[in-house]
């Protein structure tokens, strides 16, 4: 009897495992954009503070970051080619994000910038506006100024823009997720937020 139950259970589990493996299909939920994956697993989220969809997607991004394996690095890449404002202002926002990263306040500052644009409906016209957002949200103004002018933040901003250049052919809208340098995720209309999270996590484990 036990052998029979075991066989029946195995018969049920095997199809479930196959279905799980076939859930995400190349050309539908993702595409391959490179021959080789990066040496270390990583998720790049290309986004813009001015993008309404990126703002709404932040709650899903939080879940993705929580569910990614510890060996997977998650990196936000702020684009500078959106038409909502000038490239100069967008690059200022990139530098502000990097200052927040160095000061261990990136999540706080990112949320504050998103809220300033999409909730308060305010306009960013200079780096001083970004400094004021930082200060209002508990970041020391002098520390922010020091980082904005520092070599470290400028290097991080240049690296951010270099990543944009590297993947620009594959990033024509935001948010866009590039995983392991090899896979570009496609979120279809029938996918739930949980599906989107599961897709990114699954892609992060692919070579």
Domain boundaries, the chain: 24-79+171-207, 81-167
- Top CATH class of 24-79+171-207 equals alpha beta
Q: Is the peptide bond before 131 cis (omega within 30 degrees of 0)?
A: no
Q: What is the pLDDT of residue 90?
A: 97
**Residues in the chain where the model's pLDDT stays below 50:** 4, 7-20
- Annotate 132-162 with b (16+ C-beta within 10 A) or e (fewer): ebbeebebeeeebeebbeeeebeebbeebbe
Q: What is the pLDDT of residue 3?
A: 54
Q: Rounded to an integer, what distance in angstroms lies between the CA atom of residue 99 and that of residue 116?
A: 17
Rounded to a whole number of angstroms, the CA Rg of the chain reads: 20
Express each pLDDT in 157-193 by its tens digit: 999 999 999 999 999 999 999 999 999 999 999 999 9
Q: Rounded to an integer, what distance in angstroms lies between the CA atom of residue 92 and that of residue 154?
A: 10
Q: Nearest CA to 137 among 114, 163, 160?
A: 114
Q: What is the pLDDT of residue 23?
A: 85
Express each pLDDT in 59-70 by its tens digit: 999 999 999 999
The crossing angle, in degrees rounded to 10, of helices 87-102 and 141-149 is: 110
Domains 24-79+171-207 and 81-167 share a fold: yes
Is domain 81-167 classified as CATH 3.40.50.720? no
Q: Rounded to an integer, what distance in angstroms lies between the CA atom of residue 12 and that of residue 126?
A: 61
The model's pTM: 0.88
């Amino acid at each position: 009897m036990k052998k029979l139950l075991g066989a029946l259970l195995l018969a049920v589990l095997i199809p479930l495992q196959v279905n799980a493996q076939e859930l995400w299909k190349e050309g539908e939920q993702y595409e391959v954009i490179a021959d080789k994956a990066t040496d270390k697993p990583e998720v790049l989220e290309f986004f813009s503070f001015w993008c309404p969809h990126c703002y709404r997607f932040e709650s899903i991004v939080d879940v993705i970051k929580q569910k990614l394996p510890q060996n997977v690095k998650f990196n936000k890449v702020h684009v500078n080619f959106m038409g909502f404002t000038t490239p100069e202002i967008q690059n200022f926002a990139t530098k502000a994000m990097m200052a927040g990263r160095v000061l261990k306040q990136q999540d706080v500052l990112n949320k504050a910038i998103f809220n300033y644009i999409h909730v308060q409906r305010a306009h960013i016209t200079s780096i001083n506006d970004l400094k004021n957002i930082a200060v209002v949200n508990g970041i020391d103004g002098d520390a922010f100024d020091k980082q904005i002018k520092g070599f470290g933040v400028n290097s991080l901003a240049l690296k951010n823009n270099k990543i944009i250049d590297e993947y620009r052919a594959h990033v024509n809208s935001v948010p866009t997720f590039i995983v392991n340098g090899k896979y570009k995720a496609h979120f279809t209309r029938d996918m739930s937020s949980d599906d989107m999270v599961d897709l990114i996590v699954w892609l992060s484990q692919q070579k």
